[in-house]
Structure 1
Amino acid sequence: MSPEFTSLSQLLEHIAKTAKRRQRVSLDLVVREVGQRSFAPLLLLVGIILFSPLSGIPGVPTLMAILVLLVAVQLLLGRQHFWLPQWMLKRSVPERKLLKALDWLYGPARFIDRWLRPRLTFLVRRTGTYVIAAICAVIALALPAMEIIPFSATTAGLALTAFGLALVTHDGLLAVLAFVFTGLLVMMVLLGLLGLL
């Protein structure tokens, strides 16, 4: 049975505990540990990876984009258990790199957790969840292009983390903030693409 997370710190600590004493940590292991049946922890996991130094590894933003797109589409179609391809689940990172990224995130996570609480819950239940899933799918479609636009993948990670946290903690105000991050991301990508033309 998958654990229930009520804060960002809890999720980070759980991933760190899972990763310790392993040479490499696969996506399959982490997904199974955070809960393959729940959209919110998976979305939060992707956001954390993209916001952390791990997003600098070539191909990671695109891999995370595929993961978000697959899960978001399956949620919108009403599936209860998310299917993910084996080639994706077999991808792994060294334990040292993962733990270093988690250490980097602990401070901000504790600060953020102090401000989270259930509010404006209509934005993060039922219809709100489907709206968030649709927006996350759009972000996922744009993520491969973000590999060539500086800081855009990190901003996408911030938006996805905020959406995931909003769903985990039932904080609709955080969902509103995530919508703002998404708007900033859209402007950043458009300006970046115009700069490349």
Structure 2
Amino acid sequence: MDYHHQPAESTRDSHPNTQPYHTVPCKTISWEDLHRSATVLTEFSHEAKQEIEYYLGYLPDESITIRFELFLRSLIQQKNAGFLPYEQYSKLAEQHVRLIRNEDVRCNLADDYDLELYQTYFREYLPYGALARQRLIDMMGYAPELKHSLLAELYLRKILANELIRLPLEMTPVDYKAITLIRYRQILLSRGKDAADNWPVLNCEQDSELSE
């Protein structure tokens, strides 16, 4: 399945609502970040969040995005005012959203997963573990190695086990987040952290890169 957004500006208001899929914040938001977010270029806050979701396919928790959003608001302001050509804006925005992606996947940087995590994976595999893995295979078009996908599968498994959430057959923000975890880790383990940090966000990858 093709999980790329078309890079046309007109598609950027068509994202699904990600609110039901937000996870628990991984860090506390500082008062300074809260103050700046609430007072600086606030008229571009909504558009900045849309851009983050456009490039990633999902919107990370505010504890992740808040430190990076102000620069994106500034880029949007310059673009809307005609001071920044759209092509240059898109390049700078995507590069900046990579920083958000990199922060969001920091929990997935270990050289290998703990044995206890593998034991949990296999001990609680049925039924939702099998469903989660098959969903990823269907979305990605191939079966990722477990050393790349374990954390993503556990994340997706938890969502599928939630009786209050019913995922549709098409791609959702949950799937984009899970695949982002996998793709980053694939590059991390094969090429190193610098390569992973500088790898294009999911919706900017080339088709030829998807099966690496």
TM-score range, shorter chain: under 0.3
Q: Which protein is richer in helix relative to its size?
A: 1
- TM-score of the two chains, using structure 2 as the length reference: 0.23
- TM-score of the two chains, using structure 1 as the length reference: 0.24
**Higher radius of gyration, 1 or 2:** 2
Bigger relative contact order (CA 8 A; separation at least 6): 1
